[in-house]
Structure 1
């Protein structure tokens, strides 16, 4: 799956699920099966409050569930865990290992990068990452140390300065997607709205409707 080129990654970003596994109300395999059946094709293991060992062990279970599926499995922050799990990629931010160095050393990994301003966008462009996450779009409790919330005008400005596939992230639900109408966003990265749902199939479908309207 790592061999997917950048032009195709955008197809996987429409509903990008950021996994906080403690929020999931269903057995792990059922949760993933519902999400995939509904059309989700990209998953990131984040679990900010778990140890590296815990996330590795959870990642092993997820890797087994996803084996053979046409989806991408990304690890948040930790290049070492991504490599040990043979994940498809890693998502990095300004406080993590430099994205340009990681991309150069591990070119087979899909690299995502978090952006909040033009400086971030320019760095992502220069680093040859594969996609970017732009946010936060709204205030969110899932990530306590989030940066300045962005307006629709901010998104337009940032998207106009990159050709990279981009997802919006931060507090997104099916009820606030109007903010992104008529701008070139590739998809939405969503955590609690899907992870905590008792019906993740419908939660994913509700997000994907944005692209069919």
Structure 2
């Protein structure tokens, strides 16, 4: 069994340096983990490499202490420098097959916006997929058009590796997303931008857990 299948993907929280509201990545993710985040990803689009390494190292220390899988967005060099559990790449980032060779047996996540992209990512060595955006989102200005729940279900029917859905997911729609058969939800603003990060994470964790338990 692959390592990815043993991970609890229910609540995957992604940081964003624009949404921190003066808080550090560590402060936000520590609060998210306290609320039930099961996987965390460090994403900092506007930081220097030196800053990213320092911030990622602090998060690596936190996630080791709490036993939570730690993923770095895009930057394989940063992920390897701090010995993160894995890296997540998008369609415009390093090719999946090359990333697979470079990171060895670390987790490799890939963003997919269609069944074709999802299938190709699996063939090239992805351990899990971030599928979306499911709904419209302002978190990524360059985001693809929303694919909706119907396309998410279709991808789930054809893909066997873990899938986390992302894009515009919040307390109002998280249960519907989970009913599409995914392994979890990935959220950014719904947790990171919340005044009470721990409470926001706790609410989402409860919502997805109820749906998952009913499906068992």
For the pair 1:125 / 2:122, whether they are aligned, the reply is yes
For residues 147-204 of structure 1, what are the alpha-carbon distances to aligned partners after superposition, in whole Å with 9 as ceiling and x for unaligned? 1201211111111110010011111111122432532111111111111112111111
- 3-state SS of 2:108 partner: strand
The count of corresponding residues between Structure 1 and Structure 2 is 208
For the pair 1:23 / 2:22, whether they are aligned, the reply is no
From 147, 157, 161, the counterpart of 1:160: 157
TM-score, L = length of structure 1? 0.90
**Contact 2:109–2:129, Cα closer than 8 Å, also in 1:** yes
C-alpha deviation, 1:19, in angstroms: 0.6
Structure 1 runs of 4+ with >4 Å offset: 25-30
- 3-state SS of 2:158 partner: coil
**Contact 2:86–2:106, Cα closer than 8 Å, also in 1:** yes
Counterparts of 2:178 and 2:15 in 1: how far apart (Å)?
26
- The equivalences for 1:160-179 within 5 A come to 160-179=157-176
1:105/1:56 Cα in 2 relative to 1: closer, same or farther (>3 Å)? closer
C-alpha deviation, 1:22, in angstroms: 4.2
**Contact 1:44–1:76, Cα closer than 8 Å, also in 2:** yes
More displaced, 89-98 or 27-36? 27-36
User: Paired residue for 1:89?
Assistant: 86
Counterparts of 1:23 and 1:137 in 2: how far apart (Å)?
20
**Contact 2:5–2:161, Cα closer than 8 Å, also in 1:** no
More displaced, 33-42 or 125-134? 33-42
C-alpha deviation, 1:89, in angstroms: 0.5
User: Paired residue for 2:214?
Assistant: none
From 140, 143, 148, the counterpart of 2:145: 148
Task: Give ranges in structure 1 of 5+ residues lacking alignment.
Answer: none
- 3-state SS of 1:67 partner: helix
TM-score, L = length of structure 2? 0.88
User: Paired residue for 1:8?
Assistant: 6
**Contact 1:21–1:195, Cα closer than 8 Å, also in 2:** no
**Contact 2:25–2:55, Cα closer than 8 Å, also in 1:** no
For residues 83-109 of structure 1, what are the alpha-carbon distances to aligned partners after superposition, in whole Å with 9 as ceiling and x for unaligned? 111111000111111112221332221
